[in-house]
Amino acid sequence: MSSFSTSLSSSSPFLSNHSSLINSDPSRRSLSFPQGINLDDLCVRSKRKLVQSSVAVGDGAVITKSSSAEVKTEPLSIPSQEADKLVIESNGGEQQSTVSITVVGASGDLAKKKIFPALFALYYEGCLPEHFTIYGYARSKMTDAELRDMVSKTLTCRIDKRENCGEKMEEFLKRCFYHTGQYDSQEHFVTLDKKLKEHEGGRLSNRLFYLSIPPNIFVDAVKCASSSASSVSGWTRVIVEKPFGRDSKTSAALTKSLKQYLEEDQIFRIDHYLGKELVENLSVLRFSNLIFEPLWSRQYIQNVQFIFSEDFGTEGRGGYFDHYGIIRDIMQNHLLQILALFAMETPVSLVAEDIRNEKVKVLRSMRPIQLEDVVIGQYKSTTKGGVTYPGYTDDKTVPKDSLTPTFAAAALFIDNARWDGVPFLMKAGKALHTRSAEIRVQFRHVPGNLYNRNSGGTNLDRTTNELVIRVQPDEGIYLKINNKVPGLGMRLDQSNLNLLYSARYSKEIPDAYERLLLDAIEGERRLFIRSDELDAAWALFTPLLKEIEEKKTIPEFYPYGSRGPVGAHYLAAKHNVQWGDLSLDQ
């Protein structure tokens, strides 16, 4: 196996047009994006931004002023009464700014598992601004000390910098506070506001609210946060967790309600798959390597597969899951977002709106999904090696007669010039034999393949090139190529050109939530879902979901820990495809 080199020649037309190389060690060169984001070091951009002067205006609008005096304005409306309140922070520090992050639903699973650890990781890496405060907010009664104790149990340090880990944790925890309150109480948010102001100490205050609560209370919390705890001098942004509704209607209603209190630019709809390193890398792979983009169409690609599997069931989340099912939980958001990034046309720039415009076009070009192009399944109990694994309906929070799919496979099509006729297969399941997420690109056969005649036992009809982007675990990219078996004869073999991230980079890959939280703090919207993207995603899936539910389609049962329903193979075969993850030489 050989490994790809990721270094790029400075004579590359891409680089000369759009970017420059920064890193003195040529073996570790990485691509610098137009905005100067160096993917090798997450915080380069943060540090760069922190030396920028910032002028915050009204509801989430931010004007950034670089030290070279070039002023870039994000396209937001600036209420005129707010314009009077402009406070300019110069590099000399006329007025310093601060960020207050409130985790709403701080006592919950996601906050403990992901949000606080991600905030700590950002702090640890020096990515948070000098002045910041973190508040946990929930109904549960807790003191600051109890919150810190809860949070401390989940914190870990980057493997390469363990020495001062304990010290950093202590410092971080001192910046964490807790406020008990109801999600629909203006009064409780007013008290939060007072506490935040004390910490902000008269600095220009920017506020980020992370809604880590069940969706039925999103709007109450947004109403109270925006009316009683918005920043008066800086920006106020709200990260909203999925689910964003259950279908087109409920999603539109949620958006409408949120927009009563927030501008679209203040709403950061999170899809944590967009924050995963290999998903971020998709565009880099496509648009910075000459060898891929010319092949990226129906002319050379036979099919594309988006595969998500988990080797555990819905244990503990059955109540939530039963209301949504795997299509809403994984396909309509995570897999569809990856598909849109994969299939979009080259954006005008890497600016958020340019990328999101292209993604929407893909989503709106997709053909309505037909029920006959979908297979659904549900896991059942099984006993292996003396251990009994529960079935989905064994969960006490799930109705015994639930038909909710825990597995689904679907064939989707993009009716545009680039992708006409190419099946985009999706497969997502819980309680399968393995945990992984990957994108597989299967290329067409070599026309008139010379070696078919003397392949010496290798079936070259099967061994087409395949590009695999393994999102997790063991992040990597590999390309299956055909090569000659060394020796005097002429036998062909298939091998992998393999870029395994852990072998190539000593740096630990940041968790998706780290990237996304940092983006939200910096006002970078590229990886968040715009409302028209969301509408297009729901428009695609809503008729299918309705049909499945109205017809009470019975899912195909599959044993816990298996490879899923056999129906998925028939679906792929119908489109002349084999699932890449199930082939012997995957």
Ligand X SMILES: NC(=O)C1=CN([C@@H]2O[C@H](COP(=O)(O)OP(=O)(O)OC[C@H]3O[C@@H](n4cnc5c(N)ncnc54)[C@H](OP(=O)(O)O)[C@@H]3O)[C@@H](O)[C@H]2O)C=CC1
Active site residues: 334
Q: Does 109 bind ligand X (CB under 6 A)?
A: yes
What's the rounded Cα separation, in Å, for the pair 568 and 553? 15
CB nearer ligand LXAUTJHC, residue 341 or residue 577:
341
What SS3 string covers 213-236?
A: CCHHHHHHHHHHHHHHHCCCCCCE
Give the one entry of ligand LXAUTJHC, ligand X, none that residue 117 binds, where binding means its C-beta sits below a cut-off of 5 to 8 angstroms depending on kind: none
Strand ranges of the sheet holding 87-89, from the earlier edge strand across to the other edge: 71-73, 61-65, 53-57, 87-89
For β-strands 236-240 and 267-270, DSSP reports them as parallel
**Alpha carbon distance 537, 108 (integer Å):** 28
Query: Among candidates 277, 198, 264, 207, which has minimal Cα distance to 235?
Result: 207
Round to whole Å and give the CA distance between 356 and 533. 7
Residue 91, token pair as written in the block: 């590099």
Q: By CB under 6 A, tell whether 319 contacts ligand X.
A: no
Instruction: Tell me if 215 contacts ligand X by CB under 6 A.
Output: yes
* Closest to ligand X by CB, 516 or 548: 516
131 touches ligand X by CB under 6 A: no
Residue 301 contact partner, candidates ligand X, ligand LXAUTJHC, none, CB within 5 to 8 A by sort of partner: none
Cβ distance to ligand X smaller for residue 246 or 427: 246
Longest dimension (CA), the chain: 83
Residues 6+ apart with CB under 8 A from 255: 244, 531, 534, 535
* Strand partners of residue 529: 269
Is there binding between residue 315 and ligand X (CB under 6 A)? no
Which of ligand LXAUTJHC, ligand X, none is residue 418 near (CB under 5 to 8 Å by kind)? none
Should residue 26 be labelled a site residue for ligand X when binding is judged by CB under 6 A?
no
Q: Binder to ligand X among 63, 86, 165, 217 (CB under 6 A)?
A: 217
Taking the complex as a whole, the smallest distance from the CB of residue 560 to ligand LXAUTJHC amounts, in Å, to 15
Site for ligand X contains 154 (CB under 6 A): no
What are phi and psi for residue 514, nearest 5 degrees? -65, -50
Return all residues near 547 (Cβ < 8 A) that are at least 6 apart: 371, 553
Q: How far apart are the first and last CA of the chain?
A: 14
- Judged by beta carbon, residue 243 or residue 423, the one nearer ligand X is 243
What is the contact surface with ligand LXAUTJHC in residues (CB under 6 A)?
Answer: 272, 310, 329, 437
Does residue 423 have a cis bond before it (omega within 30 degrees)?
no
Q: Which residue is listed with tokens 């030396």?
A: 51
Of the candidate spans 105-113, 228-236, 294-302, 380-388, the one that interacts with ligand X by CB under 6 A turns out to be 105-113
Which of 139, 195, 361, 418: binder of ligand X (CB under 6 A)?
139
Q: Is 313 in the site for ligand X (CB under 6 A)?
A: no
- For ligand LXAUTJHC, the closer CB: 7 or 402: 402
Tell me which of ligand LXAUTJHC, ligand X, none is bound by residue 380, counting a contact when its beta carbon lies within the kind-specific cut-off of 5 to 8 angstroms.
none
Q: Which does 565 bind (CB under 5 to 8 A by kind): ligand X, ligand LXAUTJHC, none?
A: none
CA distances from 35 to 24, 102, 201, 463 (A): 19, 28, 32, 41
**Pair type for strands 436-443 and 301-309:** antiparallel
Give how many residues touch ligand X by CB under 6 A.
18
Applying CB under 6 A, the span of 146-154, 241-249, 350-358, 404-412 interacting with ligand X comes to 241-249
From the list ligand X, ligand LXAUTJHC, none, which binds 329 (C-beta under 5 to 8 Å, kind-based)? Answer: ligand LXAUTJHC
Which CB atom, from 82 or from 315, has the smaller least distance to ligand X?
Answer: 315
Smallest separation, CB 584 to ligand X (Å): 34
Q: Do the beta carbons of residue 471 and residue 437 sit within 8 Å?
A: yes
Among ligand X, ligand LXAUTJHC, none, what does residue 529 contact (CB within 5–8 Å per kind)?
A: none
* Rounded Cα distance, 172 and 134, in Å: 9
Q: Could you say whether residue 250 binds ligand X (CB under 6 A)? A: no
Q: Which of 6, 212, 255, 337 binds ligand X (CB under 6 A)?
A: 212
**Which one of ligand LXAUTJHC, ligand X, none interacts with residue 391, CB within 5 to 8 A by kind?**
none
Q: Report whether 379 contacts 405 (CB < 8 A).
A: no
Q: Which is nearer to ligand X, 181 or 423 (CB)?
A: 181
**Interface with ligand X (CB under 6 A):** 105, 107-111, 138-140, 183, 212-215, 217, 241-243
